[in-house]
Amino acid sequence: MLGPVLRGAARSDTIRHAVSTAPVTRTVVDRYVAGERLDEALRTVRSLAAAGMDVTFDHLGEDTGDRAEASRNRDAYLALCEALAREDLAAHAEMSVKLSAFGQALPGGHEVAYENVRPVVERAAELGTMVTLDMEDHTTVDSTLAILAELRKDFPRTGAVVQSYLFRTEDDCRALAGEGSRVRLVKGAYDEPAEVAYQNKRDVDRAYVRCLKVLMAGKGYPMVGSHDPRIVAIAQELARRAGRKQDEFEFQMLYGIREAEQRRLVAQHHRMRVYVPYGTDWYGYFMRRLAERPANLAFFLRSLASR
């Protein structure tokens, strides 16, 4: 029951203010967020790279309220591109973007988001790296996949995320499983209605496996975005059956979650990419991480109570 409440709270400005200003929040947030500043995130990435891991950067931000803010978010990613070039990290680091941070929810937002994301994808390609479009709530899926299709005409390595909790996703996987396509499969982190999404964890997990079968059997590059040990084992088996070599798919996990498992997969010579969020706008991301695991919320509340 708590999950939907927390995911709802992720979009409440009042709760945002209360949580963001609570003195102990910072220590709990640090578990999931690599820092508020780019240099802190770069330090994290250097240590992950030394441990044999690749990363995808997320400059935190979502649900942008106006065009100026959307432009600032674009510029933050362009600055990130220059930092990757300067620090010689482009071989290890790609970028994940939320189109709502680029203006997707504004009037005319589809076009605004496309115009803002394109220069980032273009600069990433010049540097030899790429961009993956994160997936947000179900109302954005058509627009996000249409922007993906447009970008892939010139930048075929642009990736997308699909969420197994949505009924539509198995079909989306079929459509996206072609040559050169990069697809991150996740379970889904938003509070979705029963008309469009499975509500029961077991159904979401089963759908994940069905979608993964499609992606592994296809011609694209599957990115297995999950911390679930059962999913990891199934992915290894499906890749083996599909005759995929270890560089023909990758695992992805979030910064701060199941780090021992991340190292274990690297030791088995799998490609492991860690999703590294940084920036000051961490509230929505943080609340979704609390919602995923009741123990996280208990830890957060205990920290508050012990002050």
Instruction: Write out the catalytic residue numbers.
Output: 134, 184
Q: Is 158 in the site for ligand FAD (CB under 6 A)?
A: no
Contacts with ligand FAD, 14-53, as mask; x by CB under 6 A: ----------------------------------------
Stretch that binds ligand FAD, among 2-10, 14-22, 109-117, 253-261 (CB under 6 A): 253-261
- Contact between 143 and ligand FAD per CB under 6 A: no
3-state secondary structure 236-298: HHHHHHCCCCHHHCEEEEECCCCHHHHHHHHHCCCCEEEEEEECCCCHHHHHHHHHHCHHHHH
- The span of 43-51, 64-72, 121-129, 222-230 binding ligand FAD (CB under 6 A) equals 222-230
Q: Is residue 296 near ligand FAD by the rule CB under 6 A?
A: yes
> Should residue 293 be labelled a site residue for ligand FAD when binding is judged by CB under 6 A?
yes
CB of residue 132 to ligand FAD, shortest distance in Å: 8
Q: Is 134 in the site for ligand FAD (CB under 6 A)?
A: yes
**Environment class of 229 (CB within 10 Å of its CB; exposed 0-12, middle 13-18, buried 19+):** exposed
**Cα torsion through 110, 112, 118, 121, rounded to 10:** -80
> What percentage of the chain's residues is helix, strand, coil (to nearest 5)?
55, 15, 30
Q: Does 163 bind ligand FAD (CB under 6 A)?
A: yes
Host H or E run for residue 185: strand 182-186
**Residue 258 to residue 93: CA distance in whole angstroms:** 20
- Of 84-103, binders to ligand FAD (CB under 6 A) are none
Q: Which amino acid is at 73?
A: N
258 binds ligand FAD (CB under 6 A): yes
Determine if 212 is a binding residue for ligand FAD (CB under 6 A): no
Interacting residue ranges for ligand FAD, rule: CB under 6 A: 134-135, 161, 163, 184, 186-190, 225-228, 252-254, 257-258, 275, 289, 292-293, 296
